[in-house]
Amino acid sequence: MALPNRDLIVQRPEGLYCPPGDFYIDPWRPVARAVITHAHGDHARVGHGHYLASARSAGVLRARLGDIELQTLGYGEAIEHHGVRVSLHPAGHVLGSAQVRLEHEGQVWVASGDYFVSGAGDDNSTCEPFEPIRCHCFVTESTFGLPIYRWQPQREVFDDINRWWRANAEAGRASLLMGYSFGKAQRILAGVDASIGPIVVHGAVEPLDRAYREEGVALPATHHATELDKTALSRALVVAPPSVQGSPWTRRFGDYSDAFASGWMQLRGARRRRAVDRGFVLSDHADWPGLQRAIAATGAERVIVTHGYEAIMVRWLQEQGLQAGAFQTEYDDERVLAEKPAGDVQSNE
């Protein structure tokens, strides 16, 4: 596509701003109008006057942010605001996650938010798959923007998780699998073999599970820890946020094996810092080939890189003949969160 001149997204202290539309995308400071790509805490924050997000994200947004002034759009549905045509399109990251397409005076820009690009037969069943959108400029994340990050097929990861859980259950030992409460936990639940034993979820996970189920996402039956006796708990898979590690809450499971699910588990050092028995490489973000495929599919001649390995991704894009730069954002990524000490608040749960 021919490269336009005027920027539709710029960086301001409050966040990423659309000048002709006078609104922000995932702002990190309170603003009058915010378009939200998804409900993770580093992208959806309290204090904005008006929120626009995908209809699929409404339940999770309200569960996390409370009573907000929320306007929703179905995927592909468009509205016009101050001459800017705005539409939302699936990002494949978590329930309701969206890319923001902006069209104004012949220009088309797309802000991706966070996104996951599946391989053949490897979709994230808990949300709509990533949809490439043709544009002049693509604003992309780069959480795993290094060539070393190449995800193995999702089914193989879940086979490993099931083998670990089954071996623990046969030994009379609970399996504590830690992953972020929103997105990762539901992806785990949808992918494991629920016939192995009962599944327990932490109180931070349960309301988000409910929001997924209300949107028609199939998840297996789950329990609170207090609902099961010791025999059942000794065979259970326990899905909980990383903040439970080493907490009094885990003592009720007795002799348990623990694990952490994250893309950063591909690095041995990350697993060692988490001090867990197992690390499962499972991410809701695009790996290096996925980032390349997503960017190429947009046809964009200009790419702006946000959080992650910005400098490395920008250099690679420039080597491909593209005009590339970066925005310095206040979004967290899984690397930062995975390395936080146990008990820290996880904003990207």
pLDDT at 4 over 70: no
Pair (232, 322) in one structural domain: no
Q: Based on the domain organization, do 222 and 316 belong to the same domain?
A: no
- Structural contact between residues 113 and 38, judged by C-beta atoms closer than 8 angstroms: yes
Domain range holding 230? 154-280
Residue 265, domain member (yes or no): yes
Q: Under DSSP, is residue 103 helix (H, G, I), strand (E, B) or coil?
A: strand
Instruction: Collect all residues with Cβ–Cβ distance below 8 Å to 223 and sequence separation of at least 6.
Output: 198, 199, 200, 201, 236
pLDDT value at position 91? 98
Which comes out higher in pLDDT, residue 210 or 329? 210
Q: For position 121, what pLDDT does the model report? A: 54
Specify the DSSP class assigned to residue 227. G
Which whole number is the average pLDDT over 93-112?
Answer: 98
Do 20 and 142 have their domain in common? Answer: yes
The reported pLDDT for the residue numbered 268 is 72
Give the β-pairing of 98-104 and 107-111: antiparallel
Tell me the residue ranges of DSSP E strands in 112-173. 137-142
Residue 5 lies in a domain: no
Number of domains the chain contains: 2
Burial class (CB in 10 A: 0-12, 13-18, 19+), 49: exposed
Rg for the chain, CA atoms, rounded: 20
Residues 88 and 100 sit within 8 Å (Cβ to Cβ): yes
| Residue 29 falls inside a structural domain | yes
Q: Are residues 172 and 273 in the same domain?
A: yes
Among 263, 280, 297, where does a domain finish?
280
CA distance linking residue 132 with residue 140, whole number of Å? 12
**333 — pLDDT class (breaks 50, 70, 90):** low
Q: Any idea what the Cα angle at residue 263 is, between residues 277 and 332, rounded to 5°?
A: 115
- List the CATH number of the domain containing 120: 3.60.15.10
Are 111 and 97 contained in the same domain? yes
- Is the pLDDT assigned to residue 29 strictly greater than 50? yes
CA distances to 6, 97, 267 from 299, in Å: 18, 22, 32
Same domain, 40 and 78: yes
Q: Is the pLDDT reported for residue 348 higher than 60?
A: no
pLDDT tens digit sequence for 116-172: 998 755 778 899 999 999 999 999 999 999 999 999 999 999 999 999 999 999 999
Q: Which residues of 122-139 are buried (b: 16+ CB within 10 A; e: fewer)?
A: bebebbbebbbbebbbbb
Instruction: Report the distance separating Cα 257 and Cα 270, nearest Å.
Output: 18
Let me know if 298 is exposed, middle or buried by CB neighbors in 10 A (0-12, 13-18, 19+).
buried
Please give the pLDDT value at position 336. Answer: 45
Q: Which of 78-92, 192-206, 226-240, 319-333 has the lowest mean pLDDT?
A: 319-333
In the listed set 264, 280, 296, which residue is the last one of a domain according to the structure?
280
Mean pLDDT estimate for the chain: 92
Domain co-membership, 34 together with 99: yes
What is the average per-residue pLDDT within 3-16?
86
CATH of residue 190's domain is: 3.40.50.10710
Does 158 map to a domain? Answer: yes
Indicate whether 111 pLDDT > 60.
yes
In this prediction, residue 2 has a pLDDT band, given cuts at 50, 70 and 90, of very low
Share of residues in the chain with pLDDT > 90 (%): 86
Cα–Cα distance for residue pair 146/123, rounded to 1 Å: 22
The pTM is what?
0.92
pLDDT digits (tens, 9 = 90+) for 187-199: 999 999 999 999 9
pLDDT at 66: 94
pLDDT digits (tens, 9 = 90+) for 63-72: 999 999 999 9
| Cα distance between residue 272 and residue 263, in whole Å | 14
Q: Domain check: are 167 and 181 in the same one?
A: yes
Cα dihedral sign, 144-212-126-115: negative
Position 6 confidence tier, pLDDT thresholds 50, 70, 90: confident
- Mind giving me the DSSP string for 51-82? EEEEGGGHHHHHHHH-S--EEEE-TT-EEEET
Shared domain check, 145 and 23:
yes
The pair of structure tokens assigned to 159 is 């086979």
- Longest Cα–Cα distance in the chain: 66
Question: Region 8-21: what's the mean pLDDT?
Answer: 97
In a domain? residue 77: yes
